[in-house]
């Protein structure tokens, strides 16, 4: 199949998912203060991330708007899946805090990256490629949706609760800022793409998103979403590095070890919180 045909199939799947998802969600009641536009932004991001990840995981060159290395493609796929999981939680069990958290994280991911692209990296894009046009169209539509919804439901800032949440936020914030502001750093363990500032900033945008997940959590449900986001991203990054090593190619060991550890710690915290959650089932005596 040609790249154009695959892109058409991906667009068709996205439209079908958005339409079907909106119909299903409209039938569910109540929606817990989740405005329709906010719901559509969350649904579009969730579907787009998960559909895109299937191509990015295979490092298909036509599936993204600029050239990436196989490892960067895998990192991008992991980000799409992690965002997708967070979005599914916000859609399946919505709350105002969970919706605001997701919208805030999406704004943090897209906003600085888009500004950096427009100011510094437009020369990396070939506007005769359909995927580039689609990339900018999707980003602009999502940013417009965020501009309309975020002022109505901004994320409520709070201090991360617990050692794991605090440690994750601090490490990810320092890492993401270093990678975004100084994309050509001296240590390959931390800067795998020193000659590609745009790719470094793409990865940094997701790292900063993970850093903000706990501070943007306004209730218990959104704290669970933050742990789920970090667990899936951290474990996914570790698996991507292991896949790179299995192919006999170098992989940044700091990403493998540190993100793998953060992923496992957040997964353990998530399981502990789930086990400690009060049961809402019927109270039976007998």
- The residue extents of the domains of the chain are 3-275
Q: What is the largest CA-CA distance in the chain?
A: 72
Instruction: Give the pLDDT band (50/70/90) at residue 286.
Output: very low
Cα dihedral 60, 85, 268, 93 in deg (nearest 10)? -170
Please give the model's pTM, rounded to 2 decimal places. Answer: 0.89
> Which residues 6+ apart lie within 8 Å of 243 measured at CB?
74
pLDDT tens for each residue of 202-241? 999 999 999 999 999 989 999 999 999 999 999 999 999 9
Across 166-172, average pLDDT = 98
DSSP output for 209-262: HHHHHTTT--SHHHHHHHHHHHHHHHHHHHHHHHHHHHTT----HHIIIIIHHH
User: Residue 153: is its pLDDT beyond 80?
Assistant: yes
Q: What distance in Å separates the CA atoms of residue 98 and residue 43, rounded to the nearest whole number?
A: 13
Q: What distance in Å separates the CA atoms of residue 91 and residue 71, rounded to the nearest whole number?
A: 30
What is the pLDDT, as a whole number, of residue 284? 40
Q: What distance in Å separates the CA atoms of residue 19 and residue 14, rounded to the nearest whole number?
A: 9
Mean pLDDT of the chain: 89
Burial class of residue 12 in the structure, from the number of CB atoms within 10 Å of its CB (0-12 exposed, 13-18 middle, 19+ buried): exposed
Nearest alpha-carbon partner for 43 in 7, 9, 19: 19
Across 136-145, average pLDDT = 96
Q: What distance in Å separates the CA atoms of residue 53 and residue 34, rounded to the nearest whole number?
A: 26
């Amino acid at each position: 199949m040609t790249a154009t045909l695959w892109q058409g199939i991906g667009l068709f799947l996205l439209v079908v998912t958005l339409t079907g998802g909106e119909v299903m969600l409209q039938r569910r009641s109540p929606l817990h203060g989740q405005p329709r536009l906010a719901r559509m932004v969350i649904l579009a991001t969730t579907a787009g991330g998960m559909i895109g990840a299937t191509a990015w995981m295979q490092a298909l060159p036509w599936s993204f708007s600029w050239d990436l290395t196989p490892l960067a493609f895998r990192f991008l796929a992991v980000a799409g899946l992690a965002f997708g999981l967070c979005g599914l939680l916000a859609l399946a069990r919505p709350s105002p805090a969970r919706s605001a958290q997701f919208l805030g994280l999406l704004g943090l991911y897209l906003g600085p990256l888009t500004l950096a692209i427009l100011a510094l990296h437009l020369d990396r894009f070939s506007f005769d490629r359909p995927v580039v046009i689609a990339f900018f169209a999707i980003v602009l539509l999502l940013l417009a949706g965020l501009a309309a919804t975020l002022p109505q439901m901004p994320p409520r800032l709070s201090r991360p609760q617990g050692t794991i949440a605090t440690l994750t936020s601090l490490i990810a914030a320092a890492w993401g800022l270093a990678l975004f502001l100084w994309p050509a750093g001296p240590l390959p363990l931390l800067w795998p793409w020193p000659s590609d500032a745009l790719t470094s900033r793409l990865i940094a945008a997701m790292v900063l998103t993970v850093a903000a997940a706990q501070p943007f959590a306004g209730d218990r449900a959104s704290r669970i979403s933050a742990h789920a986001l970090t667990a899936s991203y951290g474990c996914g990054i570790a698996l991507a590095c292991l896949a790179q090593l299995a192919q006999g190619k170098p992989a940044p060991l700091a990403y493998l070890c540190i993100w793998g550890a953060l992923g496992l710690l957040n997964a353990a915290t998530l399981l502990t919180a789930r086990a400690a959650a009060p049961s809402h089932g019927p109270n039976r005596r007998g």
